[in-house]
Amino acid sequence: MEYSTAFVVIAGCIGLWMTWGIGSNDLANIISTAMGSKALSVRQALVIAIVFEIAGAFLGGSEVSDTIRHGIINVDAFVDNPQLLIYSMLSVLFAGAFWITTASYLGMPVSITNTIVGALVGVGAIMLGLNAIHWQTVGYIATSWILSPTMAGVIAYLLFISIRRWILGADDPYAAAKLYVPCYLVLVGIILAMMTTLKAFHHFHIVLSLVETGFTVIGTVFLVMMGGFFVLKPLFRKAHLNRHMQFVYIEGMFSVLMAFTACAMVFAHGSNDVAIAVGPVVSVFDLIDMGSEISRQWVFNGITLFGCLGVVLGLFMYGRKVIETVGSAITILTPSRAFAATLAAATTVVVSTSTGIPVSATQTLVGAVFGVGLARGIDALNLNVIRNIFMSWVITIPVAAVLATLCFYVLKIGLG
């Protein structure tokens, strides 16, 4: 194919640009609750981002990547002219990279899911007509954009209400925390089991029976409990604390839980958003002769790892503005509030990702933060910031579609 080497280089460069933008926006949004609430230090956030972003991309992202590569545009229509499909994927990558970088500069947490899907639909409809779009898949994705932040908001609202009622509002908050914090640790263990252990088995095509699944979840929960109790042990041994210090130690306990839930959420982000980012890149490489199936797998793994590194670099080079927007501008977060929001978002994302539907981790976490703020009353929310975020979500799809379409025509006219 003419320009094959150039296409591979361009796809790799734009893909790196886009994953850098995802790190500065989407992953910054994911980490924002932990860092905005001061539950994690910068060093701790860096370690969690590297380890669990890579783990999520390799162990949990295959279904979503396949949806992006094949599930939205009818690629069979490009059999006679695969070069047009390459133009399309390069255009989608450019639109995603440009828009998410612009949004990061403005400090707005936009969704890479909305951007990529909007760009794919725009290019596919212009080139092939509306009938070439798999509208049923698009409908599922669009529905998830509404349901996922709503579900996360409801779960976060209920979680924080329970924390406030059973612990923060108790006559003896510290004693109540020692009783109920282990219960929340169990919830964290279940989510980690569902997101990591079970997905790892699925990735390696290991089919578990219902009993084996149950034992796997119980074993993972036990390990999380042991690790959690080891870290929490010094916080459980205090006595004769005044009420103010009781709350200080309680928030310290939730900082520990927040570290576990941050791991879960970053894993979910890696399994969803990195897969979305590398999907168009892999499509370009698929159309170039890369040799044997083993070579293709190595290339896919290399692209995924490359994307993970780009995401982590983007987070720590330019993620500050989005972290400030979500971590402190929507509502004031403490470790207990951040824990409720992040656990709710992680629960929502892993359920959606398991179905292969690329749900927006950004929208999910913002919805969860909104739910926590609402639990404290409407006055606890910065409605101006929420309005701006919502408007950025609304314009993302048409902007991405227009950018991708313009880029496609430039490539088609310029390269023929």
Residue 362 pLDDT > 80, yes or no? no
Strand partners, 133: 73
Which residues, 6 or more positions from 149, have their beta carbon under 8 angstroms from its beta carbon? 360, 363, 364, 366, 367, 368, 370
Judged by DSSP in three states, 372 sits in helix
Give the number of other Cβ atoms within 10 Å of residue 310's Cβ. Answer: 22
Strand partners, 73: 133
Which residues, 6 or more positions from 6, have their beta carbon under 8 angstroms from its beta carbon? none
Of 404, 314, 403, 333, nearest to 373 by C-alpha is 333
pLDDT of residue 397: 84
Q: How is residue 209 annotated by DSSP?
A: -
pLDDT of residue 398: 87
Of 278, 277, 276, nearest to 359 by C-alpha is 276
User: 231's torsion region: left (phi>0), alpha (psi -120 to 50) or beta?
Assistant: alpha
pLDDT of residue 319: 85
Domain residues for 39?
4-415
Residue-wise pLDDT tens digits, 299-324: 777 888 888 888 888 988 888 888 88
> Could you give the number of structural domains in the chain?
1
Residues 193 and 221: beta-carbon distance below 8 Å: yes
Residue 379 banded pLDDT, cuts 50, 70, 90: confident
Of 189, 264, 179, 191, nearest to 225 by C-alpha is 189
pLDDT of residue 20: 92
> In 193-242, which residue ranges form alpha helices assigned H by DSSP?
198-203, 210-236
The Cα-based distances of 277 to 114, 143, 360, 401 in angstroms read: 12, 21, 12, 16
Judged by DSSP in three states, 225 sits in helix
Length of the chain: 416
Residue 95 banded pLDDT, cuts 50, 70, 90: very high
The Cα-based distances of 13 to 62, 82, 149, 388 in angstroms read: 22, 20, 32, 31
Of 5-14, 22-31, 225-234, 274-283, which has the strongest mean pLDDT? 225-234
Residue 157 pLDDT > 90, yes or no? yes
pLDDT of residue 161: 95
Residue-wise pLDDT tens digits, 212-248: 888 888 998 999 999 999 999 999 888 788 988 999 9
Judged by DSSP in three states, 133 sits in strand
SS3 string, 328-342, reads HHCCCCCHHHHHHHH
> In 3-134, which residue ranges form alpha helices assigned H by DSSP?
4-22, 28-36, 42-60, 62-70, 82-106, 112-128
Tell me the C-alpha distance between 145 and 360, whole Å.
7
Q: Which of 39-48, 90-99, 278-287, 324-333 has the lowest mean pLDDT?
A: 278-287
Residue carrying the six token digits 């470790």:
335
Tell me the C-alpha distance between 306 and 288, whole Å.
19
Q: Which two tokens stand for residue 326?
A: 């979500």
Residue 195 pLDDT > 80, yes or no? no
Residue 74 pLDDT > 70, yes or no? no
Q: How is residue 132 annotated by DSSP?
A: G
Q: Give the pLDDT mean for 381-386.
A: 85
Q: Roughly what angle, to the nearest 10 degrees, separates helices 4-22 and 293-318?
A: 40
Residues 250 and 177: beta-carbon distance below 8 Å: yes
Residue 339 pLDDT > 90, yes or no? yes
Give the number of other Cβ atoms within 10 Å of residue 377's Cβ. Answer: 8
Give the number of other Cβ atoms within 10 Å of residue 195's Cβ. Answer: 29
Which residues, 6 or more positions from 398, have their beta carbon under 8 angstroms from its beta carbon? 118
Dihedral sign from CA coordinates of 124, 112, 205, 207: negative
Residue-wise pLDDT tens digits, 41-65: 888 888 898 898 888 888 765 555 5
